[in-house]
């Protein structure tokens, strides 16, 4: 691991400093004007505060020679993020960014020395700890995706995936149970999933010694399962479709890797493979994941609260009053629904149960729980006659709750 940024305060060479990166502190970045942050891909101050301690110290600052950097590190990172998100070429970079040659040299150095993977791994550990998990995962999901390539991709690194009928290249990834990237490899599309999985799992095993279980689809069956058990001490568990499944079905665990591929498709640079070297494609994938692994944004909370307020304005009438019991019941139902969604994602649908039957049992269990609560608190209701107030009150009454329990919403 390389050294990290110095966490303490530094004295800047220029009296007017717009950034706290080391290129401004000790280099010549202050000689270039600052740019206005106007693009959606630009890092916010919160994102920069999270990324800055993860960047390595430049060689010129450690006394190993070289010229001090003349461009702001934050501007260089914003340029790479813009390229990955927008899908443009290096030479089509907007004029307010640093020169594309400088940015490409910055990107290439970090790709060749593995610094992009190092920053990505440190940020992944931070995100896992924020979600209440250990920094190092113990299980993963492996999958592959075939993508078309641009005409600039050499023929030696292209192929044809006969199973998916897609030419050019294939991306092999391993994610944790949150969908965060653990390992990635880019090969020609004619390389099978089992053939590429051996090298990918070896690459996974070196930095992640705690992983003991990896889920995979039916394409990884065969001798690979025994090879993983004997050579890597890994349990490769195959999640297969059953014979009664028709059409698209969300399978346990496998959907996590599919969701990660969907996240990658949000970066337009990854809609196709434009890179000459497979290593550059792998670096682009890591940059895309780093862009999406941003800290929590206050705007998301604000939009959520605005949505709740909008629903309240539509539903609540002028005679409505706050009911503590109703608020508690609403919070309890939301917590119950969240628990049900979490358990469904963790355990999956029972074997042999179709989507309609599974949804029916969920609705039945929910109706029973709604009937049980008022029965315990207010006793058995003598009849199920609906009060002639409104359709909403009748729906609430049929669920077993009186209108006063849920507030005066009629």
What pLDDT score does 188 carry?
95
Interatomic CA distance for residues 290 and 263, integer angstroms: 11
End-to-end CA distance of the chain: 63
pTM: 0.68
The bridge status of strand 166-175 relative to strand 181-188 is antiparallel
For the stretch 211-243, pLDDT in tens is: 999 999 988 998 999 999 999 999 999 988 776
Rounded to the nearest 5°, which phi and psi values hold at 381? -80, 130
For residues 133 and 12, which has the higher predicted lDDT (pLDDT)?
133
At residue 397 the predicted structure's pLDDT band, cuts being 50, 70 and 90, is very low
What ranges in 174-268 are assigned the alpha helix state H? 193-205, 223-227, 254-265
Q: Residue 161 in contact with residue 190, Cβ under 8 Å?
A: yes
CA–centroid distance for 32 within its chain: 35
Q: Are strands 139-147 and 213-216 parallel, antiparallel or unpaired?
A: parallel
Query: Given a cut of 60, is residue 16 above it in pLDDT?
Result: no
Q: What is the mean pLDDT of the chain?
A: 79
Residue-level pLDDT at 308: 72
State yes or no: pLDDT of 323 exceeds 80.
no
- pLDDT, residue 392, reads 45
Rounded CA-CA distance 326/26 in Å is 60
3-state secondary structure of 78: helix
Closest CA to 219 of 244, 201, 199, 192: 192
Alpha-carbon Rg for the chain in angstroms:
27
pLDDT in tens, 331-384: 777 787 777 777 766 666 666 666 677 777 777 777 776 666 666 655 555 555
> CB-based burial of residue 134 (10 Å sphere; 0-12 exposed, 13-18 middle, 19+ buried)?
exposed
Residue percentage of the chain with pLDDT more than 90 = 40
Per-residue pLDDT of 270-313, as tens digits, reads: 999 999 999 999 999 999 998 875 544 555 567 667 777 777 67
| CA proximity to 46, closest of 288, 300, 286, 259 | 300
Residues 6 or more apart whose CB falls under 8 angstroms from that of 385 comprise: none
pLDDT at 10: 47
Q: Residues 313, 106: contact at Cβ < 8 Å? A: no
Centre a 10 Å sphere on the Cβ of residue 228 and count the other Cβ atoms it contains: 21
Q: For the residues 124-130, what does the mean pLDDT come to?
A: 90
Report the range of poorest mean pLDDT among 104-113, 129-138, 264-273, 396-405: 396-405
CA distance 270 to 228: 30
Q: Are 274 and 382 in contact (CB under 8 A)?
A: no
- Segment among 135-139, 199-203, 290-294 with least mean pLDDT: 290-294
DSSP states of 289-355 as a string?
A: HHHHSPPPPHHHHHHHHHHHHHHHHHH--TT----HHHHHHHHHHHHHHHHHHHHHHHH-SPTT--H
For residues 324 and 44, which has the higher predicted lDDT (pLDDT)?
A: 44
CA distances 372 to 17, 302, 379, 387, Å, are: 64, 35, 10, 20
């Amino acid at each position: 691991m390389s050294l990290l940024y110095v966490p303490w305060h530094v004295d800047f060479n220029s009296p007017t400093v717009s950034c706290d990166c080391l290129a401004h502190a000790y280099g010549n970045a202050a000689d270039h004007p600052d740019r206005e942050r106007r693009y959606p891909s630009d890092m916010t101050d919160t994102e920069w505060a999270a990324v800055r301690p993860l960047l390595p110290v430049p060689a010129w600052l450690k006394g190993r020679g070289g010229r001090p950097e003349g461009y702001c590190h934050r501007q260089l990172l914003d340029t790479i993020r813009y390229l990955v998100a927008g899908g443009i070429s290096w030479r089509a970079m907007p004029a307010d960014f640093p020169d594309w040659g400088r940015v490409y040299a910055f990107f290439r150095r970090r790709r060749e020395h593995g610094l992009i993977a190092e920053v990505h791994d440190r940020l992944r550990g931070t995100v896992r700890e924020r979600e209440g998990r250990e920094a190092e995962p113990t299980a993963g999901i492996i999958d592959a995706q075939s993508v078309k390539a641009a005409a600039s991709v050499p023929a030696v690194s292209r192929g044809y995936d006969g199973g998916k009928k897609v030419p050019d290249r294939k991306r092999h990834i391993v994610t944790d149970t949150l969908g965060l990237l653990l390992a990635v490899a880019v090969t020609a599309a004619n390389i099978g999933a089992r053939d590429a999985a051996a090298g990918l799992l070896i690459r996974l095993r070196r930095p992640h010694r705690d992983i003991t279980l990896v889920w995979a689809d039916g394409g990884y069956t065969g001798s690979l399962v025994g090879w993983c058990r004997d050579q890597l001490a890994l349990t490769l568990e195959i999640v297969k479709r059953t014979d009664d499944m028709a059409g698209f079905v969300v399978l346990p665990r496998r959907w996590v890797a599919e969701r990660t591929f969907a996240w990658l498709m949000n970066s337009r640079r990854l809609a196709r493979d434009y890179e000459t070297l497979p290593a550059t494609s792998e670096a682009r994938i890591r940059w895309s994941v780093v862009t999406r692994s941003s800290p929590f944004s206050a705007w998301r909370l604000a939009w959520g609260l605005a949505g709740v307020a909008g629903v309240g304005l539509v539903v609540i009438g002028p005679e409505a009053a706050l009911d503590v019991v109703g608020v508690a019941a609403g919070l309890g139902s939301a917590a119950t629904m969240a628990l049900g969604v979490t358990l469904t994602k963790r355990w999956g649908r029972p074997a042999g149960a179709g989507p309609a039957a599974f949804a029916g049992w969920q609705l039945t269990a929910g109706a029973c729980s709604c009937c049980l609560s008022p029965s315990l608190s207010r006793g058995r209701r003598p009849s199920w006659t609906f009060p002639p107030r409104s359709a909403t009150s009748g729906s609430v009454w049929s669920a077993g709750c009186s209108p006063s329990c849920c507030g005066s919403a009629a």
